[in-house]
Amino acid sequence: MPLRSGTPVGLEVWIDAYLDHLRVERCLAANTLEAYARDLGALTAHVGADVEPSSIHPDALASLMVENTRQGLAPRSSARQLSALRGFFRFLVRERAIAHDPSTILMRPRIVRKLPRVLSFDEVERLLAAPDETTERGRLHSAMLNLMYASGLRVAELCSLRVSDIDLQRGLVAVRGKGGKRRLVPVGEVALNCVVRYLQMKKVRRVRLPKETTLFVSPRGSGRFTREGFWKMVRRYAVSAGLFPLPSPHKLRHSFATHLLRGGADLRSVQAMLGHADLGTTEIYTHLCADDVRAAHTKSHPRA
């Protein structure tokens, strides 16, 4: 942490201190920290790494936003950068490095919120049936796909699960989400059975599975199943199942939430299962369901 003495401290030093704060005190994920470092690095490139934060005027931040637009940066990316800047300057105010936050007058770029594409229930069934469970690799892939759809996990959460995180008796999975936050998510019987068959295969091979062992390891047993490996696996099974356009792994999470709401689940429960800090993030799935209601009304009502 930079000293609060009268010695001037440059912008780059404060950014390093802020990133340390995010990593140590807020326990943000490595990918999130990289995004913050990239967004704040754009500020140092714009005003200079050695500039004192107290000398940064709102006009300098506004010109950075204008430069983003000129270079063709997407509104969503520009809004994310603005969020990083606001968090950084709030940190500086709290540390008494500056008296006033220069980012408060900046307007957030308008973002047209795109509805996520979800798989139909039939498409999900075809995807989940694609792995050949007569093989070791097929059992592993089937367990991962079924568990992800049954619990709505993020890919990183799925790949980082340990054996002790699965409660087969109560049908629960303990998930460590963003910021290290823990949550319990119920898992259906079908997905649990797939996990059991996968674990039984491991026992047949006499592979020791301590409670702290990573649940899903690569088929060769060389280490944890990676996000990239899971992405490639999903795309490969999507091709064999005839799903086009090819879905990303995250589509299973979108489909999980949408299918729950279509089935009558309340929004707060879905928010808890997804691990969303803000209910507004979950509400996007209600728009997808509203489209279904509108389509049903148009098809069925005599005066639609």
Going residue by residue through the chain (304 aa), what tens digit of pLDDT does each one get? 444 545 667 899 999 999 999 988 888 878 889 999 999 999 999 999 889 999 999 999 999 988 988 888 888 888 899 999 999 999 999 999 999 999 998 888 776 667 778 899 999 999 999 999 999 899 999 999 999 999 999 999 999 999 999 999 999 999 988 777 899 999 999 999 999 999 888 765 544 555 558 899 876 666 778 888 899 999 999 999 999 888 998 899 999 999 998 888 888 899 999 998 888 778 888 877 766 666 665 666 555 5
CATH 3.40.47.10 assigned to 121-299: no
208 part of the active site: no
Architecture of domain 11-94: Orthogonal Bundle (1.10)
Question: Does residue 285 have an active-site annotation?
Answer: yes
Distance between CA 99 and CA 223 in Å, rounded? Answer: 49
R_g (Cα) of the chain, nearest Å: 24
- Domain-wise residue ranges, the chain: 11-94, 121-299
Amino acid in the structure at residue 223: G
Q: How far does Cα 244 stand from its chain's mean position?
A: 23
Active-site choice (86, 224, 236, 276)? 276
Tell me which of 23, 126, 178, 262 is the catalytic residue: 178
| Catalytic-residue membership of 18 | no
Predicted TM-score of the model (pTM): 0.68
Whether 253 is catalytic is yes
- Alpha helices of the chain — where are they, by DSSP H? 11-24, 30-47, 58-70, 75-94, 121-128, 136-151, 155-159, 189-204, 227-240, 250-262, 267-274, 279-282, 284-300
Amino acid at 64: L
